[in-house]
Amino acid sequence: MANQNHPHYQIISLREQPQLKAVMAAWFHEKWGAPLEAYQDSMAECLRGGAYPQWYVAMEDGRILGGLGVIENDFHNRKDLKPNVCAVFTEPDCRGQGIAGALLTNVCQDMHQMGIDTLYLVTDHTAFYERYGWAFHCMVQEDGQTEPARLYVHHFSPDAANANP
């Protein structure tokens, strides 16, 4: 399901293009500030196989326009709610073009093909993810934070997979 072509970019799964590991790790590190080694380790684990972690980017002409990952837990207290979509980011000059939505749709379809139909996501956005079939699930406590955060859930449905928001 990854490596989908869109009018101006391609969605790429790390497991299908492992040569992009260093570029992807550096990009996510730059966007989120988490240690580079954490991304490198997670991506190495991705390449060893298994349903997660997984890493995806939207690329055009060698430039990463956006990306996201799937990890067991996105650093919150509800360890039972897994796996979690994480590190969703679209370059500021590329926002409003449907890239994040395409990545979200792709990840849900790809994880479904690996036997995972329920995904979770921690966010402070209150309207964006609903456009792509996500629903508020509960509040969670993030590691190192004093205020609770919103946790969303997405259940794969074949109808949603064929929809174009």
pLDDT, tens digit (0-9, with 9 covering 90-100), for 49-71: 999 999 999 999 999 999 999 99
**Quick one: how far is CA 112 from the chain centroid?**
14
For residue 157, what pLDDT is reported? 77
For residue 85, what pLDDT is reported? 98
pTM: 0.90
For residue 161, what pLDDT is reported? 46
- Domains assigned to the chain: 4-161 (3.40.630.30)
Give the type of residue at 119: L
- Would you call 26 exposed, middle or buried from its count of C-beta atoms within 10 A (0-12, 13-18, 19+)? middle
CA distance 99 to 84: 19
Q: What is the 8-class DSSP label of residue 142?
A: B
Contacts of 103 by beta carbon, 8 Å cutoff, 6+ apart: 11, 56, 58, 66, 67, 68, 88
For residue 127, what pLDDT is reported? 87
Which of 67, 70, 69 is closest to 94 using CA atoms? Answer: 67
For residue 126, what pLDDT is reported? 82
Mean pLDDT to the nearest integer, 9-20: 97
Give the type of residue at 118: T
pLDDT at 38 over 90: yes
